[in-house]
Amino acid sequence: MTDYPIDPTLKDNALAYQLYQALFLQGVSPQEMDGGYRETNYAGIHCPIATDSFCMKGTPGTLEANDVLEYAFNHDQKYNALLVKTLGEPLPWSLDDLNPATIFDEQIRGRVQEAIDTLRGILKTAGINEGTEDYKERMAVGMYYLTALPDAQSMSNFSQDPLTPVPTRNLLCIQELVDLGLGAFKEYLITHGGLRAEGDSSEGYSALEAIRRNQGADTELSKILIAVLRMAGLKPEFVDVDRENLQSDDPITQELIKNVPVGTDQICVGIQIFGGFRLLDPTLINSNANYDKYDRLTLRQYLSVDYLNRGVVWANKGDWDKAIIDYSKALEINSEHVMVYNNRGNAWAEKGDLDQAIADYAKSLGINPEYYDAYYNRGIAWANKGEWDKAIEDFTRAIEIDPVNA
Contact indicator for 348, 356 with CB cutoff of 8 Å: yes
Same domain, yes or no: 184 and 59: no
Q: Is residue 95 part of a domain?
A: no
E strand map for 141-293: 237-241, 266-273, 276-280
Q: Which has the closest alpha carbon to 312: 209, 164, 204?
A: 204
Q: CA-CA distance, 146 to 186, in Å (whole number)?
A: 10
Same domain, yes or no: 119 and 244: yes
Same domain, yes or no: 194 and 273: yes
Domain of 76, in residue numbers: 8-87
Q: Which of 297, 331, 366 is the last residue of a domain?
A: 297
Same domain, yes or no: 127 and 265: yes
46-50, 115-119, 311-315: the lowest-pLDDT one: 46-50
Q: Which has the closest alpha carbon to 208: 346, 92, 111?
A: 92
Q: Which of 58, 87, 116 is the last residue of a domain?
A: 87
Same domain, yes or no: 28 and 118: no
The per-residue pLDDT for 95 is 96
Q: Is residue 241 part of a domain?
A: yes
Q: Is residue 99 part of a domain?
A: no
Q: Which of 250, 272, 297 is the last residue of a domain?
A: 297
The DSSP code for 34 is -
Chain mean pLDDT for the chain: 88
β 56-57/237-241 pair status: unpaired
What integer is the mean pLDDT of 297-316?
92
Q: Which has the closest alpha carbon to 287: 303, 271, 306?
A: 271
Query: Per-residue pLDDT tens for 197-250?
Result: 877 666 778 999 999 998 887 789 999 999 999 999 999 999 988 665 555 555
Q: CA-CA distance, 237 to 272, in Å (whole number)?
A: 9
Residue 311 has pLDDT above 60, yes or no: yes
Same domain, yes or no: 254 and 195: yes
Q: Is residue 213 part of a domain?
A: yes
Same domain, yes or no: 27 and 127: no
Q: Is residue 406 part of a domain?
A: no
Same domain, yes or no: 236 and 358: no
Residue 251 has pLDDT above 60, yes or no: no
Same domain, yes or no: 164 and 66: no
**Which residues pair with residue 278 across a beta bridge?**
271
Contact indicator for 86, 25 with CB cutoff of 8 Å: no
Contact indicator for 33, 23 with CB cutoff of 8 Å: yes
Same domain, yes or no: 265 and 308: no
